[in-house]
Amino acid sequence: MDNINGKFIDIHGVEMVFHTKKGVFHALREINLTVAKGEFVTLIGHSGCGKSTLLNLIAGLLKPSDGVLLCANREIGGPAPERAVVFQNHSLLPWLTCYENIYLGVERVFGATENRTQLRDRTRAALALVGLTAAEAKRPNEISGGMKQRVGIARALAMEPKVLLMDEPFGALDALTRAHLQDELLKIVAKTESTVVMVTHDVDEAVLLSDRIVMMTNGPAATIGEIVEVKLPRPRDRVTLAQDAQYGAYRTAVLEFLYRKQAHPAREAA
């Protein structure tokens, strides 16, 4: 049991090669990573380092060229609601209301075992969790970017996934909205005890949210460079942490890796 919990997600010797029109592109090499149950892991690296590719592999949206990915000791063969994805551009269906967007997933996961009232309650609960009860009848184009992303998170959480996969979920939002949603995410994750793998390019976001920060080397043939374990106590508060020496040290460690050891690929080329 401990073994399963310690290696809830087990990525072993994964290679990813894309066959494009321009030829073969070796995106990822020798990826070995385990994620424990209830752990919050962020993947960070410069653009083009394959962090989204790695996330898509865990999601099952891509198949590895070599190696194995396990989730709860079962091989990841394709996408499944147990590994819910929050997409960067939220990907809500514009012709459905917020409620219907969430209901679509709820119905798929629980429709076989629960009745309509239970499904409705689940959908409402998910909306309440992200504080959007008032917007349930609105279409995505009638709400703000931050609200859309919250609906995306609610849709993922409503399916009670084993793992929550987030691909730069706050990347397109302004700084204030982003901070607000990060705080909300921290609360939600504490409440639901979710296992989360999140792709980000924001150092502060990574340190604030993660238990471990997985730093990736530059592509092509990117791999895991270093892993920083963030031992800050929870609940974390961004204002107090701003003064915290330990927080600063973690931040410096990540910055050091990104800008010293793995200088930006564009600068390297120049």
Partner 1 sequence: MMSAVAESIMGDNAKPAGVPAASEPLRAAAANEAQVVPAASAAASVKTRSLRKKIIAGGLFMRVVPPLLGVALLVLVWQIIALKTASFPTPWVTLKEAGVMFSDPFYRNSPNDQGIGWNVLASLQRVGMGFGLAALVGIPLGFAIGRVEFLSRMFGPIISLLRPVSPLAWLPIGLLVFKSANPAAIWSIFICSIWPMIINTAVGVQRVPQDYMNVARVLNLSEWKVLTKILFPSVLPYMLTGVRLSIGTAWLVIVAAEMLTGGVGIGFWVWDEWNNLNVPHIIIAIVVIGVVGLVLEQLLVALAKAFTYEQVNN
Residues lying near partner 1 in the complex (CB under 8 A) are found at 59-61, 78-81, 83-85, 87, 89-96, 104-105, 108, 140-141, 145, 148, 159, 172-173
Minimum CB distance to partner 1 smaller for 81 or for 265: 81
**Residue 178 CB, nearest distance to partner 1 (Å)?**
12
Contacts of 270 (CB under 8 A, 6+ apart): none
Cα separation, 227 vs 75, whole angstroms:
24
Minimum CB distance to partner 1 smaller for 70 or for 80: 80
232, 247 contact by CB (below 8 A): yes
**Residue 79 CB, nearest distance to partner 1 (Å)?**
4
Minimum CB distance to partner 1 smaller for 105 or for 219: 105
Minimum CB distance to partner 1 smaller for 49 or for 109: 109
**Residue 244 CB, nearest distance to partner 1 (Å)?**
32
**Residue 88 CB, nearest distance to partner 1 (Å)?**
9
* Integer CA distances (angstroms), 185 to 27, 169, 191, 196, 208, in order: 30, 11, 10, 10, 11
**Residue 151 CB, nearest distance to partner 1 (Å)?**
11
Minimum CB distance to partner 1 smaller for 158 or for 213: 158
**Residue 27 CB, nearest distance to partner 1 (Å)?**
18
Minimum CB distance to partner 1 smaller for 49 or for 84: 84
